[in-house]
Structure 1
Amino acid sequence: MGFTGRSTELDRLLPHLDPDKADRDALPLLIFAVTGMGGIGKTALAVETAHRARAKGWFPGGTLFVDLRGYDDAPVTADQAILALLDALGVRGTELPPTTERQYDAYRALLAEQQDRILLILDNASDPSQYLPLLPGTDHHRVLVTSRDRPDALPVRLIDLETLAPDDSVALVSRALHDTDERDDRPTREPDALRELTDLCGHLPLALQIAAAMLRRRRHRSIASLVAEIKETGDPTTVLDNGSRGTDQYGRSLVLRPVLEASYRRLPPDQARLLRLLALAPGADSGTEAVAALADLDEETALSLLEDLAATHLVTPVRDGEGSASVVRWRLHDLVRAYGVGVVAGDVELREEGEAARERVLKFYYRWADAADDRLRWLPGMAEPERFGDRGAALAWFDGERAGLVAAVGWAREERYADAAVSLAVCLSEYLGWRRYFDDWITVAGAAREAACRAGDRLGEADASDHLGNALGEAGRAEEAIEAHTHARDLFRAAGDRHREAIASNGLGIALREVGRVEDAIKVHTHARDLHRAADERHREAIAWNNLGNDLGEAGRAEEAIEALIRARDLYRAADDRHREAIAWNGLGIALGDAGRMEESVKAYAEALSIHEEFEDWYGAGQALQNMAAAHETAQRPADARACWLQAADAYTRGNAPAKATQARAWAAELD
């Protein structure tokens, strides 16, 4: 199979092997190490580098290659390797020195006398003791080591390999099929299936080679059939190894699990335990604090173990920002994760250990999600939430942990974790709505509702159904939102919970208005207002007034809408809820415009815009600017309108609303 990808790594490595450059360097680097997880393509890169360097005439003395088999049950020792190297240099039979010490002396003497440069490749080393005695005693030659472990204690130039880029993965499989049979057009006919296959292989070269070999053997079957087989099994390593036969171009068996097994078995017990637990963690990656909770360790101990696992390339540090100090999260390769899950599943004690770990991380997530949610909902006069001093800190924590939080809520489908996961789902609604992650919001609320329903928790089911309605409504699925909110309202009403009946009614009314049932929306929001007023819930009453004002405006009752929205604004102001005050200002601007009071309308939008910018609510800012642009157009001020449209586009872009941003730019273009 031909060499594919790795152009960046070759560009880093090759110049250092250039003898002209080396002669100019005051301190030439003699040793280079290509490191990465098993199956990542270290040997392929080393050999390709050697071919290209030889083609340039840099190593006229040739290349010496030794496979140290460092991760086999019986690794090659340096004393064994020296015999192979001497043989390659022509020293054999009666010329071979009788003792190991003299063999090393003869080896170094030969290299010192050799005028033609030699490139020495010491492949698949697991420990420096395998290759340190083999280094030339001269700076004339160069050494290239490959290993799954970073030799951090040695002065070497490191080239850490990561998985292939998606396009390179596709090219690798396509080339493998074409090289066998140029008529094999499956990659062209099934591009989507091929990309999905490379994703399932985790873009790991060894897994891709195995998949390509299976496709070559199954030449009359589609790529999609292999994809379906892997997805049905749920473990790519099992399918690929069961279908694997033959060897690669280096004579090694095309098998995946033994490679992962060898790396795992070499780990000390504490590292092996952490790797197993990381395989069970929710989300694609985890922060150090979450890993510490998962493993029941203090954060410093967890960090040290993670760094050790990263040195073996079984865990990858994920950087957020520039510089070495920006590592904040840790990721397992998908196939390492699948292997770790399999290890746990096959042992009763490890399963119990894993279940306890999942309970710990759920408890950790709920504690801090609850505190972060309290901060997002905080108003003056409320108790200060734990840990998060401002909205920015709460949002940053949510942003970092979002994938894990959403995945953890998915555990609600298992009875053991249902209660904690449902509670966690409620804590995510405000954040997911704020960031406009509607798909995640629907997933989270749906999982919570299913879990509560299975458990017979009618109030929990109602709560989750109401959140689901909000998510569906924001995603533009108003009819489904009506169904979810109605279900929630009816459950709350049956339970005699008037407070939450009113909350569900507010969401229901919004969805009704979205489908054009304005009179029904007015009735529902009026009922919600009355329930909140009777309970002396002034802040909630403001929400109902705001919704009612929007309904009245939609019904063409502009003056009544203005009155309702002023009531909402004033109640929000009394509660010091600045963000919802901005929402009321925006609605008031629309109602004032409908009443022909355009200058007042523009001023209302400006008030809304100022507050939305204060909160960095860029979607809300985009709405205010969009409405302001329309008001300027009505007032025959096209230049002002165009400027507002362009500002709205920028705000929508920052607010994760690309479709809105595109539309705003189109409207601005119409005013050129």
Structure 2
Amino acid sequence: MGGIGKTALALEAAHRARAEGWFPGGTLFVDLRGYDDDPVTADQAVLALLDALGVRDRDLPPTTGRQYDAYRALLAERRDRMLLILDNASDPTQYVPLLPGTDRHRVLITSRDRPDALPVRLIDLETLDPDDSVALVTRALHGTDERDDRPAREPDALRELADLCGHLPLALQIAAGMLRRRRHRDIASVVAEIRDAGDATAVLDHASPGADLYGRSLVLRPVLETSYRRLPPDQARLLRLLCLAPGAETGTEAVAALADLGTESVLSLLEDLAATHLVAPVRGGNGTASEVRWRLHDLVRGFGAGVVAEDAGLREEGEAARERVLGYYQRWAEAADDRLRWLPGMEEPERFRDRGQALAWLDGERAALVAAVEWGREERFADAAVRLAQYLGKFLDWRRYFDDWITVAEAAREAARLAGDRLAEAVSWDHLGLALQEAGRVEEAIDAHHKARDLYQTTGDRHREASAWNNLGLALQEAGRPEEAIDAHHRARDLYQTTGDRYREASAWNNLGLALQEAGRVEEAIDAHHRARDLYQTAGDRYREASAWNNLGLALRKAGRVEEAIKAYSTCLELYQEYEDWYGDGQTLHNLALAHQAAHRPAEARAAYLQSADAFTRANAPDRAAQARARAAELPD
């Protein structure tokens, strides 16, 4: 892409090659200015090359054809290898006529476009590695003043500046120039200025020094504008819309929804944009077209969003596109959520044949889904964002993405308030409470569930009020208030019984059992977990049945009935094998190890601890994994 450092790399490579004696015949360089308003033609370039080879004035052939003949003849006569650099080409017509016609010499071409139709070797340049970005700015500052200690004093600010520059060499070079001029200001001040502006190109171009040592312009926006202006209308439209998509990467299907085009049509346009290096493909697991995701450089995204913002017609086009993609995410998130909640006897959800497919889609789209919910802070998208958020809670909880869950719940709460939907606001408070509790913010969780309960009571939704009581009980347990938790679960159970919801009544019994255990009322807890297990079996929910078996094992172990506890844990593990709940698997194996220890079986306990550590590792819970390994190491041989 523009600003990636193509010319600088070509020149550096040429200087090193010349120093190594690779091209004793000399080096020729032509700037074809392919992205300027008046690019150099091959006919113009051949005159410059002939002049460099000593053919000028009266020796210059009178016609263009003979000029090319003379150029190729001179190259063919040269026995010593030469290097020809054709810089900044936008079209093969600029350079194909200039190729030597002999394999003795070498040609290096730089371009923003991939010439896929030509048999040339292609080297794609990516943005810099973060460490290299930091090193570039550091060297630029030390090259001016070796006493400049800002990079050492502000390593975090320097890394953030590199991130804001998108690790694009041109942007980093301009940022370094800003810091050189502002030698008495810290790096954090530049970071704050870019963040406040929300557009790195505007800040950097305003402070640009103008040109580098080669006389090339050091400005970002014109580089992006020239690439954008050269696009055909359909590609330009797609680029603008893609700049509005949620998340850093967007799947092909989502782009099709955004652009209101068929998948094949949009795929062809995306491939064309990829050839200009304005978007980059990121392949999924199997590398199929449907799994390809598309990534924009942050500066390109900012530029495209700015183009849209400056034109009323383009703004409306963009808002309609955002509505379409939000509808796309809402539809398939609902289908995936239905699959995760599916029980025998329920209607089969569309698209996703099993839990694995649903989780794979949700995993791939997670960043975009979270970003799309945050659109709900705008009134136009509030209703759709609220509904989308409600379809993500189960997944985010399952995968333990608690920070994302908090973000989604908070955005949904604000969207519901904006839309004036009290019931949806209550649901969002309830989900926020669950996420806060999992994140260890228990007092905030209790407050959130209280707010949810009060709103449900206001709207007269007794069924959801029961859920709020149930979730409040869990938070109270976590806060070490078991008697209050018992009361909350009793209220949830009674409300579920009143509304005839035997399935969710099972959840209330299961949670009540945990609270009773905390209060030391173990026999009552065993009875509660038996009731929960039986209700889950009746409903055919094998996953939650497994949870009931695990909790029953806890109560039995506390009652000194260790062999029964081991059987309960073993049954739980058999049921868990059908699912990918590695954290739950790890917890049950940890409990099983404790039971084997109580039964004086150290070998079995060690094996269970190590299996638990493996499960916790897969669940991205390294602290719990380390704890399990430490427990295993403590056991005698």
Short-chain TM bin: over 0.9
Does residue 633 (structure 1) correspond to residue 597 (structure 2)? The answer is yes
**Residue of structure 2 equivalent to 1:33:** none
Give the letter for the 1:55 counterpart. A
Give per-residue Cα distances to partners, 1:336-387, cap 9 Å, x unaligned.
Answer: 0000000000000000000000111111111111111111111111111121
Give per-residue Cα distances to partners, 1:577-605, cap 9 Å, x unaligned.
Answer: 01001111110110010011111111111
**Residue of structure 2 equivalent to 1:380:** 344
Q: Retained in 1: the 8 A contact 2:253–2:290?
A: no
Give per-residue Cα distances to partners, 1:179-202, cap 9 Å, x unaligned.
Answer: 111111111110000000000000
1:97-108 correspondence to structure 2 within 5 Å: 97-108=61-72
**Residue of structure 2 equivalent to 1:171:** 135
Q: Retained in 1: the 8 A contact 2:589–2:611?
A: yes
Higher relative contact order (CA 8 A, sep 6+): 1
1:576 is aligned, of 536, 540, 543, to 540
Q: Retained in 1: the 8 A contact 2:490–2:512?
A: yes
SS in 1 for 2:449: helix
Counterpart-to-counterpart distance in 1, 2:448 and 2:290: 42
Counterpart-to-counterpart distance in 1, 2:206 and 2:57: 44
1:652 is aligned, of 616, 620, 631, to 616
Q: Retained in 1: the 8 A contact 2:252–2:289?
A: no
1:537 is aligned, of 474, 485, 501, to 501
1:38-117 correspondence to structure 2 within 5 Å: 38-117=2-81
Range 347-356 or range 94-103, more displaced: 94-103
Counterpart-to-counterpart distance in 1, 2:89 and 2:630: 59
The structural deviation recorded for 1:324 is 7.7
Give the letter for the 2:345 counterpart. G
SS in 1 for 2:123: strand
The structural deviation recorded for 1:327 is 5.4
**Residue of structure 1 equivalent to 2:435:** 471
The structural deviation recorded for 1:321 is 3.4
Counterpart-to-counterpart distance in 2, 1:173 and 1:669: 47
**Residue of structure 2 equivalent to 1:451:** 415
Q: Retained in 1: the 8 A contact 2:251–2:291?
A: no
Counterpart-to-counterpart distance in 2, 1:447 and 1:469: 14
1:278-427 correspondence to structure 2 within 5 Å: 278-321=242-285, 328-427=292-391
Q: Retained in 2: the 8 A contact 1:200–1:236?
A: yes
Give the letter for the 2:378 counterpart. E
The structural deviation recorded for 1:476 is 1.3
Give the letter for the 2:427 counterpart. D
Q: Retained in 2: the 8 A contact 1:320–1:327?
A: yes
**RMSD value, Cα:** 1.2
**Residue of structure 1 equivalent to 2:458:** 494
**Residue of structure 1 equivalent to 2:587:** 623
Does residue 515 (structure 1) correspond to residue 502 (structure 2)? The answer is no
Counterpart-to-counterpart distance in 2, 1:213 and 1:607: 66
**Residue of structure 1 equivalent to 2:449:** 485
1:552 is aligned, of 516, 521, 530, to 516
Give per-residue Cα distances to partners, 1:31-56, cap 9 Å, x unaligned.
Answer: xxxxxx00011112212222232232
Alpha carbons of 1:383 and 1:327: their partners in 2 closer, same or farther (altered >3 Å)?
Answer: closer
Counterpart-to-counterpart distance in 1, 2:107 and 2:65: 21
SS in 2 for 1:280: coil
Counterpart-to-counterpart distance in 1, 2:521 and 2:414: 41
Alpha carbons of 1:463 and 1:325: their partners in 2 closer, same or farther (altered >3 Å)?
Answer: closer
Does residue 460 (structure 1) correspond to residue 424 (structure 2)? The answer is yes
Counterpart-to-counterpart distance in 2, 1:651 and 1:488: 34
**Residue of structure 1 equivalent to 2:84:** 120
Counterpart-to-counterpart distance in 2, 1:442 and 1:299: 33
The structural deviation recorded for 1:453 is 1.9
Q: Retained in 1: the 8 A contact 2:582–2:618?
A: yes
Q: Retained in 2: the 8 A contact 1:609–1:620?
A: no
Does residue 528 (structure 1) correspond to residue 509 (structure 2)? The answer is no
Give per-residue Cα distances to partners, 1:457-516, cap 9 Å, x unaligned.
Answer: 211110110111111111111111101111101111122211000011110000000001
Give per-residue Cα distances to partners, 1:71-119, cap 9 Å, x unaligned.
Answer: 0000011011111111221222222222211111111111101111011
**Residue of structure 2 equivalent to 1:591:** 555
SS in 2 for 1:251: coil
> TM-score normalised to the size of structure 2?
0.98
Give per-residue Cα distances to partners, 1:542-571, cap 9 Å, x unaligned.
Answer: 000000011111111111111110110111
Range 510-519 or range 628-637, more displaced: 628-637
Q: Retained in 1: the 8 A contact 2:25–2:81?
A: yes
> What are structure 1's unaligned runs of at least 5 residues?
1-36
Counterpart-to-counterpart distance in 1, 2:324 and 2:287: 32
Does residue 211 (structure 1) correspond to residue 201 (structure 2)? The answer is no
Counterpart-to-counterpart distance in 2, 1:93 and 1:171: 48
SS in 1 for 2:122: strand
Q: Retained in 1: the 8 A contact 2:170–2:218?
A: yes
Give per-residue Cα distances to partners, 1:143-166, cap 9 Å, x unaligned.
Answer: 111100000000011101111000
Counterpart-to-counterpart distance in 1, 2:633 and 2:258: 53
Counterpart-to-counterpart distance in 2, 1:609 and 1:387: 29
Q: Retained in 1: the 8 A contact 2:251–2:290?
A: no
The structural deviation recorded for 1:401 is 0.9
1:436 is aligned, of 368, 376, 400, to 400
**Residue of structure 1 equivalent to 2:201:** 237
Counterpart-to-counterpart distance in 2, 1:239 and 1:446: 31
Q: Retained in 2: the 8 A contact 1:317–1:327?
A: no
Q: Retained in 1: the 8 A contact 2:506–2:535?
A: yes
Does residue 265 (structure 1) correspond to residue 229 (structure 2)? The answer is yes
Counterpart-to-counterpart distance in 2, 1:249 and 1:579: 66
Counterpart-to-counterpart distance in 2, 1:338 and 1:444: 24
2:108 is aligned, of 144, 151, 156, to 144
Counterpart-to-counterpart distance in 2, 1:395 and 1:327: 14
Counterpart-to-counterpart distance in 1, 2:504 and 2:401: 25
The structural deviation recorded for 1:322 is 6.6
Give the letter for the 2:33 counterpart. R
Q: Retained in 1: the 8 A contact 2:382–2:418?
A: no
Give the letter for the 2:360 counterpart. A
